[in-house]
Structure 1
Amino acid sequence: MSELNPAGIGAPEVVELDDTHFAMIREAVAFDKIGELFDRAYPALYGYLPEHGIEIAGPAAGLSFGAPTDVIDLGVAVPVVAPFAADGDIQLFTVPATRAVRVKVQGPYDQLPQAYNLIRAWTGEQGHICRGVAWEQYVNDPSTISDPAELLSEVFWPIEN
C-alpha cells in the first residue's frame, strides 16, 4: 500500500465498480456484539457457498446499511461471482455498477471508522455525495495475521457526482 498517513489510512480515490454481488447474513447488532456476529456468520457463509456451487469472487466483507445508532445494521458478506437464490438467513445483495470512493487501510480494524470519516469529509470537499451501502473488504485473512498492524482492508462508498 502506498501513500498511507501515519495511522495507516490511504488517500481517497474514485474507482469505477461493476455490479458487485454479495452473499450475506444481515442483522442489526450492538457494537459490542459485532465480533460474535462475524464469528457466527462467516463459517455459515463459507460452508454454504461451496456446498451450493456458488463461486466466491473476493475477500470477506462487512456492509453497513444506514447510519449507526446504538446498533448497526450490518451485512456480514462474501462477494460472489453471480446472483443466486436466497436461502434462509443467507441473502443476496447486489451493489449495481457505480462510482465509489475507496480508501485503503493498513492496521487494526478499529481504524476503519477513521476511514469512513475521511471519506465523508473528502467527498464533501470534492462535491460528491455518498449514497447507498458502504462496505469494507478484509484483503487478508485475520486468522493468518499475528500482528494487527499487518491487516489490510479497503473501504468503499458509492457516490453521486
Structure 2
Amino acid sequence: MELLSSFNLNPLRIYTVPKRIKNKKGISTFSAKHIASHLDYSVDFSNQFSDGEVIVKGKVLCNRTELKVNASFFRAQYLTALISDGKENYSFYLTFIVHTNKGNELFQDIILPTYGCLIGESHNPCKVIALDTSDQAPNYRPPFNALVIGGYYLISKKKSYIMV
C-alpha cells in the first residue's frame, strides 16, 4: 500500500477540465479500465479556478454498483478516485464534485468504459438446480484427498492419482 502523501498521479489517467462557457456542461471519457484492475483516475480543475483557489472538499459518484469507488482524495486542484471492479464491455458514468476555499462548487462528468473478463464469470456460469421434497441436495464438497481441476476430482491414492 502506498501512502497518499507520496502518491504520484498517473499522467495517462488525468483529465484536465478546459475553460468553458458558464453553465455549459461537458462530458468526457477516460481511457478504458480492465475490470480486474485497481486504478486511480484524476480530474484537474485548475482551469476553472481563480488565483489562490484550491479544493477543500471533494467526492466521486458512480451511476452503477458494479464499479466501485474505493476512495477519493484531493490535492490542490486535483480530485482523484481509486476505482476497482466493473462489468465486461460496459461504460460507467462518474461525477467528480469539488468545493473550493472560495465557496465554489464544480462538477465534471466522465464516462469510464470497462473491458475484460474474470475467469469463472463467462467460462463457468452458475448452475441452478430445482429440488423438491423427495430430492437430496447434491454434495459438491471434494474428498479430503482430492483436488478439483476443471470439474473433475484428482484423487491421491497410495502414491498414484485417479481422475474422477
TM-score category, normalised to shorter length? under 0.3
**Larger RCO (CA within 8 A; separation ≥ 6):** 1
Higher helix share: 1
Rg: which structure is higher?
2
Higher strand share: 2
* TM-score where L is the length of structure 2: 0.26
Provide the TM-score with structure 1 as the length reference.
0.27
